[in-house]
């Protein structure tokens, strides 16, 4: 979104990426600098498109939903859960409350491991190796809890249409194990929170940089913790019945709009996730975790929203008469939040701009989409691989 006038006034352009040690993901950043201060920025992200939406066309819906989990290895559960609940709504499939609770537990454990992964990478960028390693050490028990819950550490495949997989059910012994692990994790997280927000090296590097006003957060579409760090008190979980009707939790909000606020909001969300998981474990309904009394068939276009660790996630699809996917669309939060960072890093010193960009916790693998708009023919279409290669080879 770089402004032409600001680009022309800049003394020098500093390009970063596609691959660079200061960037967490493969995107190209152009920083336009005047006297070592960023006056404009341009971020391009088109390198990691995998075409999952197109691959899913024509698949049986159960198989396609499993594929959504491969969109991202960090937020795999929220993808399959959001798609599953969308199809359940469209087909009128009743889901036991026990399954809802266990799906929420999976989502909050995933939020914890995503935020802790962010801290590990972010503190490494700051040059604070000790806190980086500490974040990864705390994240490891979260992965162990996900393994206890589902039998896997990355792709958990907890939801199925009508409930959850039997191996992900929580018996008395598993419940006690998870509660014990949760208590230890909470103690570590509280210590981590207090030390992080009071560490002079961290605070000095993230304070007073990366300012994103409330108005700009709305204008440029910042989502999730990035939006809430600019004073916007909204979280999709407040509108998702599985959360709203069953659990008490607070929305973590800060009014500062700085990098330090984006860090603080994520730390606070970790503590709230602990609370939600404990509530779910202690009040887990006693019933069968899956309903198999349904039939697949045609489904009109349905949509579903939820709150992933990075913010709003959206899924939509329709099914044919045989329960096969006619089309599937998935939208993840990084593209909007990363675009907002183009504005947030204006005014930063050059050495702080990469910290600001990383503070939105970008994830490109699950973001990129490509649709060609043919104005002459008045239609949209998706490029076939051979056509894309032909255009890439074309000269002039």
Q: What is the pLDDT of residue 376?
A: 60
Q: What is the pLDDT of residue 293?
A: 93
Digits of tens for pLDDT over the chain (396 positions)?
Answer: 556 666 677 778 888 877 776 677 778 888 999 988 999 998 887 666 677 888 889 999 999 999 999 888 888 999 999 999 999 999 999 999 999 999 999 999 999 999 999 999 889 888 888 999 999 999 999 999 999 999 998 889 999 999 999 999 999 999 999 999 999 999 999 999 999 889 888 899 999 999 999 999 999 999 999 999 999 999 999 999 999 999 999 999 999 999 999 999 999 999 999 999 999 999 999 999 999 999 999 999 999 999 999 999 999 999 999 999 998 988 888 888 888 999 999 999 998 998 999 899 888 766 555 555 555 666 655 555 566 556 545 443
Q: What is the pLDDT of residue 55?
A: 86
Class of domain 52-341: mainly alpha
Q: What is the pLDDT of residue 389?
A: 56
Crossing angle of helices 97-126/172-196, nearest 10°? 30
Q: What is the pLDDT of residue 231?
A: 96
Q: What is the pLDDT of residue 394?
A: 47
Using H for helix, E for strand and C for coil, what is the string for the chain? CCCHHHHHHCCEEEEECCCCCCCCCCCEEEEEEECCEEEEEEEECCCCCCCHHHHHCCCEHHHHHHHHHHHCCCCHHHHHHHHHHHHHHHHCCCCCHHHHHHHHHHHHHHHHHHHHHHHHHHHHHHCCHHHHHHHHHHHHHHHHHHHHHHCCCCCCCCEECCEECHHHCCCHHHHHHHHHHHHHHHHHHHHHHHHHCCCHHHHHHHCCCCCCCHHHHHHCCCCHHHHHCCCCCCCHHHHCHHHHCCCCCCCCCCCCCCHHHHHHHHHHHHHHHHHHHHHHHHCCCCCCCECCCCCCCCEEEEEEEEEECCEEEEEEEEECCCCEEEEEEEECCHHHHHHHHHHHCCCCEHHHHHHHHHCCCCCCCCCCCCCEEECCCCEEECCCHHHHHHHHHCCC
- Per the CB < 8 A criterion, the answer to whether 17 and 9 are in contact is no
Q: Which residue has the tokens 């992933």?
A: 308
The pTM is what?
Answer: 0.88
Q: What is the pLDDT of residue 336?
A: 84
């Amino acid at each position: 979104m770089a402004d032409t006038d600001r680009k022309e006034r800049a003394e020098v352009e500093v390009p970063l990426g596609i691959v660079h040690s200061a960037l967490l993901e493969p995107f190209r950043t152009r920083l336009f600098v005047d006297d070592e201060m960023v006056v404009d920025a341009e971020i391009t992200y088109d390198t990691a498109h995998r075409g999952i939406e197109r691959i899913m066309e024509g698949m049986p819906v159960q198989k396609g939903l499993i594929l959504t989990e491969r969109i991202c290895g960090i937020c795999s559960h929220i993808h399959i859960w959001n798609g599953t609940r969308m199809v359940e709504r469209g087909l009128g499939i009743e889901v036991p409350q026990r399954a809802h609770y266990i799906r929420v537990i999976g989502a909050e454990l995933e939020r914890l491991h995503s935020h802790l992964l962010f801290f590990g990478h972010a503190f490494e960028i700051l040059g604070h190796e000790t806190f980086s390693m500490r974040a990864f050490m705390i994240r490891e028990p979260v992965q162990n809890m996900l393994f206890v819950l589902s039998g896997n550490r990355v792709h958990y495949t907890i939801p199925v249409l009508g409930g959850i997989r039997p191996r992900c059910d929580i018996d008395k012994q598993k419940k006690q194990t998870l509660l014990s692990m949760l208590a230890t994790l909470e103690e570590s997280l509280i210590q981590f929170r207090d030390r992080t927000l009071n560490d002079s090296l961290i605070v000095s590097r993230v304070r007073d940089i990366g300012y994103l006003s409330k108005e700009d957060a709305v204008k440029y579409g910042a989502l999730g913790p990035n939006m809430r760090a600019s004073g916007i008190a909204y979280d999709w979980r407040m509108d998702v019945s599985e959360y709203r009707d069953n659990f008490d939790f607070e929305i973590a909000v800060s009014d500062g709009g700085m990098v330090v606020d984006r860090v603080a909001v994520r730390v606070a969300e970790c503590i709230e996730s602990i609370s939600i998981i404990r509530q779910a474990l202690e009040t887990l309904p006693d019933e069968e975790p899956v309903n198999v009394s349904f039939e697949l068939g045609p489904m009109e276009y349905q949509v579903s929203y939820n709150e992933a660790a990075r913010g709003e996630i959206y899924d939509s699809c329709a099914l044919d008469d045989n329960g096969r996917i006619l089309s599937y669309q998935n939208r993840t939060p990084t593209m909007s939040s990363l675009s907002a960072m183009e504005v947030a890093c204006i005014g930063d010193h050059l050495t702080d701009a990469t910290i600001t960009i990383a503070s939105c916790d970008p994830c490109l693998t699950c973001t990129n989409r490509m649709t060609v708009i043919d104005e002459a023919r008045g239609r949209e279409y998706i490029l076939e691989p051979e056509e894309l290669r032909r255009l890439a080879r074309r000269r002039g």
